[in-house]
Homo-oligomer: A and B are copies of this chain.
Amino acid sequence: MSTHKKEKFKQHILQLFVLLFGLSLWYMPIPQGLEAQAWQLFAIFISAIVAVISGALAILPASIFALGVTVLSGTLKPEEAYSGFSEGFILLIIVAFLIARGVIKSGLGKRIAFLIIKKFGKSTLGLAYSVIAADMLISPAFPSNTARSGVLFSLVNALAADSNSKVADGTRKKLGAFLMMSSMAGLTLSSTLWLTAMAANPAGAKMAEAFGVQIDYGTWVIGAVAPVAVLFFLVPWVIYKIYPPEVKETPDAPLIAKAALEKMGNVHKNEWIMGAVFIIMVFLWVMSGSCGLDKTAVAFLGLGILMLTNIFTLEDMREEGNALGTLVWFAILFSMSLYLNKLGFMSWLGEHISTFVSGYSWGIVYVLLVIAYVLIHYFFVSQTAHMLALFGVFLEVGLQAGVPGVLMALMLLYATNFNALITPQGSSANVIYIGSGYVEAGEIYKVGGIVTLVNLLIFLTLGTAWILFMM
C-alpha cells in the first residue's frame, strides 16, 4: 500500500473506532440521575469531540454528522439543534471575519505594522514587541486568530527574509525562529485581551450567562488588561532567554519599514474609511454593555459601510467559504453544548466531580480547576472545541465549590486562549508558523510549554488578585 492509502486506511479504522465508541455509549445503561435525552446528546457530542481529537474527522464533518444524528434520532428538536445559527455572538464572529478581510485589503493592517516597526524595530527583541503590539491593536476586529496568524506571519516572514534569516540555508535561528515563536506567544495574549479577538470568547461569555454569570465586553477587557500587560513585557523576554536569536540588533528593520511606508505613500482613502469604521466599531463594542447597543448589529453596519465603499466587495465575499464552514460547525457544537447544560448534564457531571474536591476551600478548587483545564489542552486540537466541551463542566464545579462566578468564568475563558502554545496543534494559529519551517514542532513542546507556564502563573497570581480587586 502507498503511504497515502495507508493514511486513508488508518483514518477509516479511526472512524470505525469512533462509531463503535459512540454506539456503545448510546446503548449503555443510562447513569442514574440523567434523562435519556441528556445521555444521548452527550454520546453524540463526545463522539464528535473524540473524532476531532483523534483525527478521525475534521471538525466540520464531525459536527455535521453530529447534527444530523441529533435531529433524526429525535434527541433535540430541529429548532433547538439549529438555534446556534441565529445566536447574535456567532453572527458577530462571522461578520468580523469578513471585516478582517477589509483590514487586510485596505492596506491598513500593513501600515500599522510598518509604523510600529519603524518606531521600535531597532533590536530583535524590539521587533518581537512590535509585532505583538500590532497584533493587539488589530485583534479586537479579528476574531479568527487563525486569520490573524496569517497576517502576522506574512509580516514576520518578510522581516526574517529581509534580515537574511532563512530556512533553506540553515539560518532560521538568526532571527526568524525567535520572531515566529514570539508572534505565536503574542497571539495567545492578544486573543486573551479582547472578547472579540477569538471566536470562542463570546461563545464562552454566552455560555456563562446560562450559569448566571454576566460577562460583557468591558468586564472581559478590564479583567485581562493587567495580566496581559505584564505578560506582554515578560513573555518575549523569556523566549529571548531560552530560545535566543543569533542576531540581536536589527538596525535595518526600521529603515525597511520606512522605505515600505514611503512606497505606500499617503494614507489612502480606503485606509481612512477602514480605520474610522474600525475605531467606531470597537468603541461601540466597548460601550455596548452600558448603552444597550447590539454588538452584532454594529458589526453588520460596519460591514455595510465597507461594502458601500467597495473596501469589501461581492468578489471578496465569494472567497469567504471558510467563514461559512466556521459558522456551521461552531453553531452546531455551541447548540449541543448549550443543550447539554439545559438538559442537566453539566450539573450532573459537575456534582460527580465535585465530590472529589468537596471539603477543600474554594481557592484550592479554583487553582486545581484552572491547572487541570490548561493541562487537558494537551489532548485538544481546537481551542474552541476544548472550550465548548469542558468550560461548562469546570464552571459548574467551581460554582458548586463557592468560587466567585465572574472570576471562575473569566479565568477559564482566558485560559482557553493563553494555553494555545502548549502543543504545536494546540491552536490552528500555530500551524502556519510551523509550516514555514522556521519553528520546529518539537521546540513548541519545550518553549511553548514554558510560555504557557509563565502565562498560567501570572494569571493565577496577579490576574486572580486583579479580577477580585476590580470586580
Contacts and interface: CB of A to CB of B under 8 A. Distances in A.
A88 B301 CA distance: 26
Copies in the complex: 2
B297 A67 contact: yes
Given A71-B296, A85-B85, A320-B321, 12 more contacts: A58-B307, A68-B298, A70-B297, A72-B301, A78-B294, A78-B297, A79-B86, A82-B87, A86-B86, A317-B324, A318-B325, A320-B324
Interface in A51-72: 57-58, 60-61, 64-65, 67-72
A303 interface: yes
Interface in A298-332: 298, 300-301, 303-304, 307-308, 314, 316-325, 327, 331
A293 interface: yes
Contacts of A87: 82
A319 B319 contact: yes
Main secondary structure, interface of A, reads: helix
A432 to B, nearest CB: 15
A298 B68 CA distance: 7
A83 interface: yes
A84 interface: yes
A297 B85 contact: no
A422 interface: no
Residue of A91, A293, A298, A331 with most partner-chain B CB within 10 A: A91
A152 B67 CA distance: 32
Contact of A60 (B72, B293, B317, B324): B317
Contact of A325 (B294, B308, B314): B314
A319 B317 contact: no
Contacts of A71: 294, 296-297, 300
A86 B83 contact: yes
Interface residues of A, number: 49
A297 B58 contact: no
A83 B79 CA distance: 10
Contact of A78 (B88, B319, B324): B88
B72 A297 contact: yes
Contacts of A323: 321, 324
A70 B72 CA distance: 35
A331 to B, nearest CB: 8
Interface string A258-298: 00000000000000000000000000000000000110111
Given A61-B307, A82-B86, A318 B319 contact: yes
A54 to B, nearest CB: 15
Contacts of A79: 86, 88
Nearest to A88: B78
Contacts of A86: 79, 82-86, 331
A367 to B, nearest CB: 37
Interface in A114-155: none
A82 B317 contact: no
A304 B59 CA distance: 11
Contacts of A324: 94, 317, 320-321, 323-324, 327
B317 A318 contact: no
